[in-house]
Chain A
Amino acid sequence: MASLKIKNIKKAFGSVEVLKGVSIDAQSGEFLVLVGPSGCGKSTLLNLIAGLESITEGDIYIGDRRVNTVSPKDRDIAMVFQSYALYPNMNVRQNISFGLEMRKVPTKEINDIVQKVAGILQIEDLLDRKPGQLSGGQRQRVAMGRALSRNPSVFLFDEPLSNLDAKLRVEMRTEIKLLHQRIATTIVYVTHDQIEAMTLADRIAIMKDGIVQQLDSPHGVYENPANLFVAGFIGSPSMNFIPCRLIRSNNTVGVQLEAADQTSAFLPIGHKSNGLETWVDRELILGLRPEHISTSFPQQDASDQIHPINCQVDVVEPTGPDTLVFVNINAKKVTCRVHPHEAKPPGELIGLLVDMSRAIFFDPETEKRIV
């Protein structure tokens, strides 16, 4: 086990700067997830940690050791690849023991380790098969077994679940989490799937265009996104972004929202308005998650921050436990999460409640969060 320090890392391929100064500290035993859309530099960063690419600028420390120029095999890391990268000509046993053999571990010890790892991952009966004879999930296990066998101080996962079908992906996700709880080794996990990031991570680094947009716990990035990008990227369905104007009425600061049929509502912001004074009479973006626009809230009687608005239903999407209702507010498509029994068919009016205590405001120019 070891901590991982990434200090102001930059990476350029020719004149293209892929990473523009990334700094991340992961504590020993932490599960760190790098998430972002494709091309954000997350896989490059992982390759830099692994030593498969050279660093243009900055430092990487594993434990107390600066590893910038240390070769991949000497960094005490193990990596699981998206395609699993199992050696096709070797059977499962040889795949798992290859790394140990390269490190000149005595044969007897290798056999013990292979047995132990196979036991942990329940692949004992697959040891003599070739990768071509395994299913996707089994290959995934072998790939993890290969990484486990070396007992490294840092595990690197490069989109390990994206080649699996949806059901298996959810199962393996849980298994990876269990595995981490069991071995408690530092893990850096790259994915483009925000649900994977949320479910697995101790902390999430959300990346875009080679910059870490926010580094926080899953709860933190969900509840307190630093900017529009993070707010839109985390959460499914995405947060609603409603452009609106901040106004003062009867000494209360609030936003004016217009629903489809010209009915408009004034929604006071309440105690959250501290820091918003300078924005009065200016345009900003109101961020509301779908679950904060609904027909009823459990705590609605006790709260003075839940305000009604009537909207016309455009589209209804039942998901099972909830139904998503799409309406139009301020000429913007807005998703609301309501109880299936309270959803109205398209064309009808629905009385919605907005929980303004959960509202977030963004600067439309800089896209940064205001409060």
Chain B
Amino acid sequence: MSSASSPSSNQSAGAIIGRMVVYGILIIAAVYFLIPLFVMMITSIKTMADIRTGNLISLPREVTLDAWKTAWNSACIGVACNGIKGYFWNSVRMVIPAVAISTILGAINGYVFSKWRFKGSEVFFSLLLVGCFIPFQVILLPMARTLGQFGISQSLVGLIFVHVVYGLAFTTLFFRNFYVSIPDELVKAARIDGAGFFRIFWRILLPLSKPIFVVCIIWQTTQIWNDFLFGVVFSTGDTQPITVALNNLVNTSTGVKEYNVDMAAAIIAAIPTLLVYIVAGKYFLRGLTAGAVKG
């Protein structure tokens, strides 16, 4: 802040004040956004007695992880009191295949739309893009009917299917825009060298696709992990993802409302997406711009 090196003291004083205002606003904004997380963290390690007697932002008198254990193992969701661990693994079991399938299909789609254009492929691509703008609510009924026809309604498989279909529009767009920036001559050279459709994809394009894969995986993981609507509509009971379970946990009231358990469960539900951002966040930005600049 004191880096203003201007000899004119008047001007440097103005610059310092300007800086202070800017940093002040930034700090206030950061605090504003971090306070909820802070409240959640401290509440989750308080005892119920502590919560009742203290206020929202007072520090815990006694630190305990009991609420976390309860949330994970024995909190009651509806009538079953087994905690959220089952639902957490449900979400994991849903996210991994859904992300993997939608990303791989999106990569192949993007490859076709950028390097193997056919008559009408632009129209086809535009139609696919419309998928990015369709609100979730619109497709609920038709999708429920479709899942029923396939015999996978109210199951994890059905939920995965919905996420794959819905995610394809985005993943295709990501990969297509990324591959457009890779010169067509690479594909031509490989064709002359004797490589076919999948060989070119596998040997030439995939090794170049790391940044866009990171973007796609982060995007899809976040979207699918955080999804509530599809989860609540297309799954029941034991197959529900953690977002739905969290909602049910908070709404299940048997006697006293255990805020510390609710908070712990909410943090558990948020950890995977936080982790993904912390681990791969910088690749995310890099990959987004790599795809976007020339797209």
Contact = CB atoms under 8 A, between A and B. Distances in A.
Contact of A102 (B185, B186, B188, B194): B194
B192 interface: yes
Given A85-B183, A87-B204, A89-B204, A79 B188 contact: yes
Interface stretch (A60-68, A70-78, A290-298): A70-78
A99 B185 CA distance: 15
B185 A82 contact: yes
Interface in B181-220: 183, 185-186, 188-195, 199, 203-204, 207-208
A167 interface: no
A102 B189 contact: no
Given A87-B204, A88-B208, A89-B208, A72 B191 contact: yes
Grouping DSSP codes into helix (H, G, I), strand (E, B) and loop, the B interface class, with mixed when no group exceeds half, is helix
Contacts of B190: 87, 98
A156 to B, nearest CB: 8
A307 B203 CA distance: 68
Interface string A36-58: 00000000000100101000000
B119 to A, nearest CB: 10
A79 B189 contact: yes
B186 A87 contact: yes
A81 interface: yes
Contact of B183 (A50, A72, A83): A83
A85 B189 contact: yes
Contact of A99 (B183, B194, B208): B194
Interface in A272-323: none
18 contacts: A50-B188, A52-B188, A72-B191, A73-B192, A73-B194, A73-B195, A79-B188, A79-B189, A81-B185, A81-B189, A83-B183, A85-B183, A85-B186, A85-B189, A87-B190, A89-B207, A146-B189, A146-B193
Interface of A: 47, 50, 52, 71-73, 77-79, 81-83, 85, 87-89, 98-99, 102-103, 146, 150
Given A71-B191, A77-B192, A146-B193, 18 more contacts: A50-B192, A72-B188, A72-B191, A73-B193, A79-B188, A81-B188, A82-B185, A83-B183, A88-B186, A88-B208, A89-B204, A89-B207, A98-B193, A98-B203, A99-B192, A99-B194, A102-B194, A103-B194
